[in-house]
Amino acid sequence: MDMTLPLITAPVRRLGTADLQWALGQGWADFKAKRGDLILLPFIYPLVGLLASVFAFNGRLFPLIFPLAGGFALVGPIAAAGFYELARRREAGIDANWWHFLDPLKGRSRLPIAALTAMLLVIFLAWMAAAQAIYTNTLGVLNPATPDDFLRDLFSTGPGLAMIVLGNIIGALFAVATLAVAAFSFPMVVDKGTDPIEAIATSVRVFRSNPATMLGWGIRVAAILLLAALPLFIGLMIALPVLGYATWHLYTRAVAR
């Protein structure tokens, strides 16, 4: 007799474009209310991005600058966990000072967040390995010696165009997979200390129930992060907290609590 217990996930709701706009509006409202307390915490994220870019400009590592920049979006939910906690506390009408940013790393959420973080790091490393393989088998055959050679060959040669097409297709698959498993799993473990498998399954169910809306959310997030990253990543000091808060509010619409 099969004694395996079925996986129980929280009920999920239908989402629409209006929910996305509402969540972004709530995220902006939270940011305006708490921006002073968090001015140093979001600085960590753009600093890491800036250092990674400087490192990638070092000769032969230059081809990895674009995968690295894109890869930061894959691990964004890790950095946003503290903002989920602050939004949760503000929503509940309880004290929400800057030191509560680190609360998800303590108590019942600590181990589930560690497990989800490990999952995203594996996805990030897999993406970097895939990006390296794409480069090696396309533009890498031309062996561009300098960043200028790389950019010229990227847009003016067959291998360069093949790298762009393959990179975007495979990168999109990684992004969609990450969106499905991580969009609501992190907010859920912050909210309830839920088992990470249950949280991932719930997040995937939201995606499957709302594929068009969730893809629209992913596009919005990607566009905001791209615009924020253009001025040497400094815009992420605003974008990351706003998106973190907004994701929390979208989670409250998507998952029955």
What radius of gyration do the chain's Cα atoms show? 19
Residue 5 inside a domain? The answer is no
The amino acid at 64: L
- Strand, helix or coil for residue 255: strand
**80 CA to centre of own chain:** 8
Instruction: Quote the tokens at residue 246.
Output: 């907004």
Which distant-in-sequence residues (6+ apart) come within 8 Å of 131 by Cβ? 64, 66, 67, 167, 170, 171
More confident residue, 229 or 103: 103
Residue 66 inside a domain? The answer is yes
Residue 168 inside a domain? The answer is yes
More confident residue, 7 or 181: 181
| pTM given for the model | 0.86
Beta-carbon-side half-sphere exposure of residue 134 (alpha carbons within 13 Å): 23
Give 1's pLDDT tier (boundaries 50, 70, 90): very low
Residue 225 inside a domain? The answer is yes
**102 CA to centre of own chain:** 18
Q: Which domain holds residue 215?
A: 17-254
Residue 6 inside a domain? The answer is no
Please state the domain count of the chain.
1
Per-residue pLDDT tens digits for 76-86: 788 788 899 98
Whether residue 192 has pLDDT greater than 50: yes
Alpha helices in the chain (DSSP H): 17-34, 44-56, 65-74, 76-92, 110-137, 147-156, 158-182, 185-192, 196-209, 211-229, 236-254
Residue 1 inside a domain? The answer is no
3-31 in b/e form (b: 16+ CB < 10 A) is eeeeeebbebeebeeebbeebbebbeebb
- Nearest-CA neighbor of 75 among 123, 138, 42, 146? 123
Per-residue pLDDT tens digits for 38-72: 555 556 666 666 666 666 566 666 777 778 777 77
Residue 199 inside a domain? The answer is yes
Give 3's pLDDT tier (boundaries 50, 70, 90): very low
Average pLDDT of the segment spanning 216-226: 92
Residue 9 inside a domain? The answer is no
Is the CB of residue 179 less than 8 Å from the CB of residue 207? Answer: yes
Sign of CA dihedral 119, 68, 127, 254: positive
Per-residue pLDDT tens digits for 141-178: 988 877 788 889 999 999 999 999 999 999 999 999 99
End-to-end CA distance of the chain: 33
Sign of CA dihedral 175, 179, 180, 185: positive
Share of the chain above pLDDT 90, in %: 53
What does the alpha-carbon distance between residue 234 and residue 231 come to, in Å, rounded to a whole number? Answer: 6
Which distant-in-sequence residues (6+ apart) come within 8 Å of 92 by Cβ? none
146-164 in b/e form (b: 16+ CB < 10 A) is eeeebeebbeebebbeebb
Per-residue pLDDT tens digits for 194-218: 999 999 999 999 999 999 999 999 9
